[in-house]
Amino acid sequence: MVGTSGKSGSLFIVATPIGNLEDFSPRAQQVLSTVDLILAEDTRHSAKLLRYFGVNTSIESLHEHNERQKLPRLLQRLQQGENLALICDAGTPLISDPGYPLVAAVHEAKVPVLVIPGPNAAVAALSVSGLATDRFVFEGFLPAKAAARCSRLRALGDETRTLVFYESSHRIVESLSDMAATWGTDRRATVARELTKRYETVRQDSLGHLLAWVTQDPDQQRGEFVVLVEGVPVRDKQYISAEDERVLRCLLDELPHKQAVTLTSKITGTSKNALYHQSLRDQGRGLP
């Protein structure tokens, strides 16, 4: 039986393939073969993967509708020395998947949580996107309803980091259309579809051209998508949000004027010139 020394067992967070089964690491297979119980979002889906690799460990469902009610029993099993593993339908658990309440509760109970890393669609797409990878923000799935989706996109309008989204086949056209309408058709983006699978497609272009391409080719509307969008260049971000101003004012309370402006620019991505003039306006209004 795997695990660490001591009376309690361990919870293993195990990544599974996002498409190509050859990406399933030997370590992940070994852990799943030796734990006492595997927790999976969809047992029917995961059972096929486990059978393929000859893993005969007991499997039990854990999803957003039953997770909290199962927590006490799962914690008890861990505290009694059993080892459990959490997997999701594909990729790394908890990334737009259930599991957060369990992992948080296990940490609170001082039971070890160990990771068996592996495939992740967001990071895989980022690595081949051709967009900036030094700073990025993962947004998961956008809201299903158009009004809420557009509101979220507008809230991200000043984001300077590369934006990473998951999207489904039945909303990919609508999401790309809303992105183009909100951020402009010229914004650079990448659509990564069916990563590691037979019909894997990765294409970088403007949002306008990507929308036209996906709309005109029904084949490009099938499967699972990661959409990555270029952040706003720092030099173009002249608008100062309420959060930008809050950061600026906090730093002005503690630092010399020039240093506060420079640091705020680094934190928020807003131009130093815009922040400098905002600070002068604030001082003119007698703000503290």
pLDDT digits (tens, 9 = 90+) for 7-16: 789 999 999 9
Percentage of residues of the chain with pLDDT beyond 90: 76
147's tokens? 């009004």
For residues 278 and 2, give the distance between their C-alpha atoms in angstroms, rounded to a whole number.
Answer: 58
CATH of domain 122-232: 3.30.950.10
pLDDT of residue 166: 98
pLDDT digits (tens, 9 = 90+) for 74-117: 999 999 999 999 999 999 999 999 999 999 999 999 999 999 99
pLDDT of residue 286: 47
Geometric angle at alpha carbon 191, from 185 and 195, rounded to 5°:
180
The domain locations on the chain are: 11-119, 122-232, 236-284
Q: What is the pTM of this model?
A: 0.79
Positions in the chain whose pLDDT score sits under 70: 1-6, 234-239, 282-288
CATH of 11-119, one of 3.40.30.10, 3.50.50.60, 3.40.1010.10, 2.40.220.10: 3.40.1010.10
